Amino acid sequence: MSGRRILLDAGNTSLKWAVVEGGQWRATGRSDYADGSALTDVLRGGTDCFIASVASVAHEQQLAARLDEVGIAPRWLAAEAGFGDVKNGYLDPHQLGVDRWMGLIAARQRTRDAVLVVSVGTAMTVDALSADGAFLGGVIVPGVRLMRQALQQGTARVDDAGGDWQAFPRTTADAVQSGIVAALCGAIAQQHARLAEIAGTAPRCLLTGGDAEKVLSHIRVPAEHVPALVLEGIDYVAREGVS
């Protein structure tokens, strides 16, 4: 393994990365798939590269071609039955999204307490990790954009006008935005309460994902915003060795 690593978190709508040299994160970035110039600027041939992807096949092929052009052969990560003391409780461990798996691994390095790992992106996932490192399961709900699209497509008089959160909205746009936030916060609160009941104490809550800030100030449980949580998990797996 070389002294330089590229960590890639390939999501549904955007690509996040970090450059690690000498054990230090030297650069981070984010872009959509249409413009990969910022990523291309940090690529160097022969660099170790680790990818956690839930992107479409087309986006994965596009990314693989860009890496191949500069002489990088990436390692595509996948969820496993376990890594270190983190145990994957999915009935089929390989079915778990690798981004969720990396987030759980990273969360375990941050705390040995029970923890709720919330990723607010195209979809929102809310995953429960016990104090002994067992992934108990999680829920998936549509994210901000998908909820808005569903309302636009399923109702006659909801347009794409952006609204603001209000406790008691008095415009349709504000009602849509406030309803979306309420639904997302409700899912977080419900899973937090369920994990607290099992754990016997209030679990920690780590919030990540591109739309995390849209719900962070509205949830009623203490939460820590960790934008690079998935990349942290990829970095830990790269350092500790991939099975």
Q: Is 211 a catalytic residue?
A: no
Beta bridge partners of 5: 20, 48
Phi, psi of 230 (to 5 degrees): -65, -45
Integer angstrom CA distances of residue 42 from 6, 8, 15, 39, 232 = 9, 12, 14, 6, 19
Integer angstrom CA distances of residue 157 from 77, 170, 195 = 43, 15, 39
Q: Which one of the listed residues 32, 48, 99, 160 is annotated catalytic?
A: 99
Q: Which residues of 139-170 are buried (b: 16+ CB within 10 A; e: fewer)?
A: eebbbbbbbbeebeeeeeebeeeebebeeebe
Nearest to 66 by CA among 91, 34, 103, 92: 34
> Which two tokens mark 209?
């994902």
How many angstroms separate the CA atoms of 108 and 130, rounded?
9
What does the angle CA 150 – CA 153 – CA 158 come to, to the nearest 5 degrees?
A: 90
> Which two tokens mark 4?
């330089």
Beta bridge partners of 91: none
How many angstroms separate the CA atoms of 88 and 19, rounded?
28
Catalytic residues: 99
